[in-house]
């Protein structure tokens, strides 16, 4: 019985009494007052800071504006003085003696003198063949006669005669003019294989078989011409590329002197070379032509 009472008395909670001697509250108050004292100088210091001076505006935009205005004014003055300067120049042009007195010689030519130093443009006279005949190395005695068909293969050649202008031309060249790409006449041209090297050989004299019939190339009979009676070849005048655009032209060569015509042989030695068409005067025209210039 006594043990139970002792246990209950020992387990009873008794709150501790705080000593209210005023020291705890005064310490707390002093701490808070000290914090307030420390914050007060910061506020006062911030109030005592000098005010920031406002930044001065930049002077660069004004300088750019003044410079632009001065440049525009100078340009206006130059334009205003230009008519006066030109009128004085036209009224008092330089004479030949003034030009010779220049330190660098006649460096100022003028537009009226430029034409004397520019070479004249090359003016060519275009001539079409008046005789066309086909010959074959495989059929040496075959005769096709005079016509308008151009037929060039590895085994076949085409003989052409071009009249030479009687006005005394000095330079000649052979040219190939292809048909326009979207022209209906483009279908009239048949090509196969490599046609980039069509050889142009000059025929200079009749063969021994025709020597008694025609003494010159101007008297050659194209209605009886065959490969067995082919005239004697001279020099290779050039090579034509039939795939070139807008045309293909050989190098210039001297026109035959004392002759009325130029006779050439069109032949091809490339693999599977084939060119055939009718060279007739139907617009738009295409084919081989002779170029002449004085």
The CATH code of the domain that includes 212 is: 2.60.120
Specify if 71 maps to a domain.
no
Cα distances from 77 to residues 28, 63, 74, 82, 210, in angstroms, run: 88, 21, 5, 9, 86
Specify if 225 maps to a domain.
yes
> For position 210, what pLDDT does the model report?
59
Structure tokens that stand for 233 in this block: 């070849």
Structure tokens that stand for 254 in this block: 């001297």
How much is the mean pLDDT over the chain? 79
Q: Is pTM, for the whole model, over 0.75?
A: no
Specify if 221 maps to a domain.
yes
| Phi, psi of 283, rounded to the nearest 5 degrees | -75, 135
Number of domains the chain contains: 1
CA 271 to chain CA centroid, Å, is 34
Specify if 147 maps to a domain.
yes
d(C-alpha 270, C-alpha 171), whole Å? 29
pLDDT (mean) for 97-119 = 66
d(C-alpha 78, C-alpha 73), whole Å? 9
3-state SS class at 44 = helix
Which ranges in the chain belong to alpha helices (H)?
2-10, 23-48, 60-91, 96-100, 111-117
Give the structural domain span for 221: 124-293
Task: Average the pLDDT over each of 47-61, 116-130, 245-259, 268-282 and give the range with the smallest value.
Answer: 47-61
Q: Is 258 within 8 Å of 216 (Cβ atoms)?
A: no
Specify if 238 maps to a domain.
yes
pLDDT (mean) for 83-94 = 75
> For position 96, what pLDDT does the model report?
73
Specify if 222 maps to a domain.
yes
Do the strands 248-249 and 171-177 form a parallel or antiparallel pair, or are they unpaired? antiparallel
Specify if 185 maps to a domain.
yes
pLDDT in tens, 208-236: 665 565 567 878 889 999 999 888 999 99
Specify if 43 maps to a domain.
no
> For position 271, what pLDDT does the model report?
83
């Amino acid at each position: 019985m006594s043990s139970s009472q002792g246990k209950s008395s020992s387990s009873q909670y008794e709150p501790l009494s705080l000593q209210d001697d005023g020291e705890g509250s005064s310490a707390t108050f002093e701490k808070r007052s000290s914090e307030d004292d420390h914050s007060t100088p910061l506020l006062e210091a911030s109030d005592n800071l000098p005010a920031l001076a406002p930044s001065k505006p930049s002077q660069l935009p004004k300088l750019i504006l003044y410079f632009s205005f001065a440049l525009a004014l100078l340009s206006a003055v130059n334009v205003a003085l230009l008519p006066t300067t030109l009128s004085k120049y036209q009224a008092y042009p330089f004479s030949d003696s003034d030009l010779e007195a220049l330190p660098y010689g006649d460096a100022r030519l003028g537009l009226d003198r430029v034409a004397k130093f520019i070479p004249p443009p090359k003016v060519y006279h275009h001539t079409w063949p008046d005789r066309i005949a086909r010959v074959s190395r495989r059929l040496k005695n075959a005769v096709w006669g005079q016509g308008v068909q151009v037929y060039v293969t590895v085994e076949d050649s085409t003989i052409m005669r071009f009249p030479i202008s009687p006005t005394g031309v000095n330079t000649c060249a052979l040219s190939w003019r292809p048909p326009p790409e979207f022209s209906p006449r483009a279908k009239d041209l048949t090509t196969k294989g490599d046609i980039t090297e069509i050889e142009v050989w000059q025929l200079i004299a009749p063969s021994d078989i025709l020597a008694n019939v025609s003494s010159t190339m101007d008297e050659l009979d194209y209605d009886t011409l065959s490969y067995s009676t082919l005239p004697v070849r001279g020099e290779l005048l050039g090579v034509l590329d039939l795939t070139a655009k807008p045309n293909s032209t050989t190098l210039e060569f001297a026109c035959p002197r004392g002759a009325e015509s130029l006779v050439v042989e069109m032949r091809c030695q490339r693999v599977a070379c084939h060119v055939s068409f009718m060279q007739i005067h139907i617009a738009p025209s295409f084919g081989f032509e002779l170029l002449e210039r004085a």
